[in-house]
């Protein structure tokens, strides 16, 4: 099921599913994990899986939801033990001034908190009333205090797209607003301070955070300095994205179920490996992973027509063009050097130290961080400890189109050589 982040629906419709649930056990050993991946790597689906696994209100559905999975056969003692607050910051409106953004943030978060109060009414009874006229952090504090005072199940917090609306400010050159958003007295810092306090008291069992870039969590600094970045932890390298063996098993099922001509298999294998594989987030010598959502886009078309799709580039990735404009617009000369280096040689030097440390917004736009910025955006991947490269043909085509469009660089001849 292409681009479907609803785990319950995938199970109910018996959709194709690559089982990553063994990582649930590994995550339980990490306090306040932050796991970053580029767009379209399945972060939202993973968040929904965690919600279903830990949600105490779905205890009776465990066998239906997880009986077919690794974690279903090897459950941890913490399964279905918590209240779950699942936040998605991608729907926070970043337009207007800081007061408008705060209003949207509080409204969205209060809706989620109201859902928690209603879903777990059996435990809360009438003790919780969400007030939409106050900050979300205040309502969150009320829930956490009630959990502590009455020894209720603890809260498992999931924050998907944690940096989405903050990133929109950066992309739109609204640096002043971004600084207000991450200032010491901001509503966002207050919210994360509340989560930190909940972890301290024990009312919050854990906080799992996903997003794309590390800059916002770094700029929040002391408000949530308990976060542990596991993005570059080798144990979690394949938690999102598909390995070759996983893809092979998936395509075996698809060919059998849809009666696709077996003589096309070798060509399909070669096409998807060239276009969608090649991401090395940690170990350049290890097994590469596929961008899962883009691969599924190809496979959906294959299932529908039973022939190899004509168009192999997922144009949905072009929504990242705003980031490219922001990163390159202030230095066109360096941009041309950057493009030439990648189109002619497909590798660019980087400082490995920058991939193992957090960095703030201003560092993100420095020349020395330019390759690192593209790494986090999913446009570059590790070649070795000295160089980054474009991961696959899909990204190479999009990458050249971006820069050709923005800077009108004549790369037609080089592009033809590059893609051969």
pLDDT tens digit sequence for 180-201: 999 999 999 999 999 999 999 9
**Which residue matches tokens 């809260």?**
155
Residue 113 lies in a domain: yes
pLDDT tens digits for 197-208?
999 999 999 999
- Output the pLDDT for position 99: 97
Residue 1 lies in a domain: no
Domain interval for residue 345 = 315-418
End-to-end CA distance of the chain: 32
Which residue among 186, 216, 236 closes a domain? Answer: 236
Q: What is the pTM of this model?
A: 0.92
Task: Give the residue, 224 or 409, on which the prediction is more confident.
Answer: 224
Per the CB < 8 A criterion, the answer to whether 5 and 44 are in contact is yes
Distance CA 298, CA 250 (A): 13
pLDDT tens digits for 13-55?
888 889 999 999 999 999 999 999 998 899 999 999 999 999 9
- Output the pLDDT for position 24: 98
- SS3 state at 263: helix
User: pLDDT at residue 356 above 80?
Assistant: no
Distance CA 98, CA 177 (A): 6
- Output the pLDDT for position 196: 97
User: Which residues are 229's β-sheet partners?
Assistant: 34
Residue 330 lies in a domain: yes
Distance CA 372, CA 353 (A): 10
Residues 287 and 337 reside in one and the same domain: no
Give the number of other Cβ atoms within 10 Å of residue 259's Cβ: 8
Residues 39 and 80 reside in one and the same domain: yes
DSSP strand pairing (83-88 vs 155-160): parallel
Which residue among 176, 201, 236 closes a domain? Answer: 236
Distance CA 161, CA 349 (A): 29
User: pLDDT at residue 5 above 50?
Assistant: yes
**Which residue matches tokens 């390759």?**
371
User: Which residues are 101's β-sheet partners?
Assistant: none
Distance CA 78, CA 55 (A): 10
- Output the pLDDT for position 418: 45
Distance CA 95, CA 4 (A): 27
pLDDT tens digits for 268-317?
999 999 999 999 999 999 999 999 988 998 999 999 999 998 888 766 66
Residue 2 lies in a domain: no
Residues 200 and 74 reside in one and the same domain: yes
- Output the pLDDT for position 321: 62
User: Domain count of the chain?
Assistant: 3
């Amino acid at each position: 099921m292409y681009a479907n982040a609803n785990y319950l629906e995938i199970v109910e419709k018996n959709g194709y599913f690559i089982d990553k649930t063994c990582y649930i056990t590994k995550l339980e050993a990490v306090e306040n994990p932050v796991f970053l991946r580029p767009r379209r790597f399945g972060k939202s689906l993973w968040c929904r899986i965690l919600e279903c696994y830990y949600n105490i209100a779905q205890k009776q559905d465990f066998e239906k939801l997880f009986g077919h999975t690794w974690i279903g056969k090897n459950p941890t003692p913490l399964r279905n033990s918590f209240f779950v607050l699942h936040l998605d910051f991608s729907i926070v409106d970043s337009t207007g001034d800081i007061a408008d953004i705060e209003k949207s943030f509080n409204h969205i978060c209060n809706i989620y908190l109201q859902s928690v109060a209603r879903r777990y009414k059996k435990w809360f009874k009438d003790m919780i009333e969400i007030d939409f006229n106050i900050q979300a952090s205040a309502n969150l504090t009320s829930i956490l205090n009630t959990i502590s005072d009455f020894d209720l199940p603890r809260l498992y917090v999931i924050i998907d797209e944690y940096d989405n609306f903050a990133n929109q400010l950066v992309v739109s050159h609204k640096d002043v607003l971004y600084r207000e958003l991450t200032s010491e007295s901001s509503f966002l810092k207050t919210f994360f301070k509340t989560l930190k306090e909940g972890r301290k008291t024990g009312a919050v069992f854990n906080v799992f955070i996903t997003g794309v870039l590390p800059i916002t969590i770094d700029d929040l600094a002391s408000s949530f300095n308990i976060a542990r970045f596991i993005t570059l932890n080798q144990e979690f390298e394949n938690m999102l994205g598909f390995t070759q063996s996983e893809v092979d098993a998936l395509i075996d099922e698809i060919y059998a179920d849809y009666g696709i001509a077996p003589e096309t298999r070798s060509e399909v294998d070669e096409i998807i490996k060239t276009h969608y594989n090649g991401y090395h987030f940690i170990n350049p010598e290890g097994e590469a992973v596929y961008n899962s959502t883009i691969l599924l886009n190809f496979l959906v078309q294959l299932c529908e027509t039973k022939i190899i799709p004509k168009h192999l580039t997922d144009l949905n990735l072009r929504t990242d063009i705003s980031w490219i404009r922001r990163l390159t617009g202030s230095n066109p000369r360096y941009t041309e050097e950057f493009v030439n280096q990648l189109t002619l040689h497909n590798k660019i030097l980087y400082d490995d130290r920058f991939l193992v440390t957090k960095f703030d917004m201003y560092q993100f736009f420095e020349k020395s961080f330019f390759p690192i910025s593209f790494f986090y955006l999913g446009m570059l991947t590790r070649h070795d400890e000295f160089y980054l490269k474009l991961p696959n043909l899909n990204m190479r085509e999009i990458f050249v189109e971006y820069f050709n469009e923005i800077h009108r660089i004549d790369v037609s001849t080089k592009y033809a050589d590059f893609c051969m």
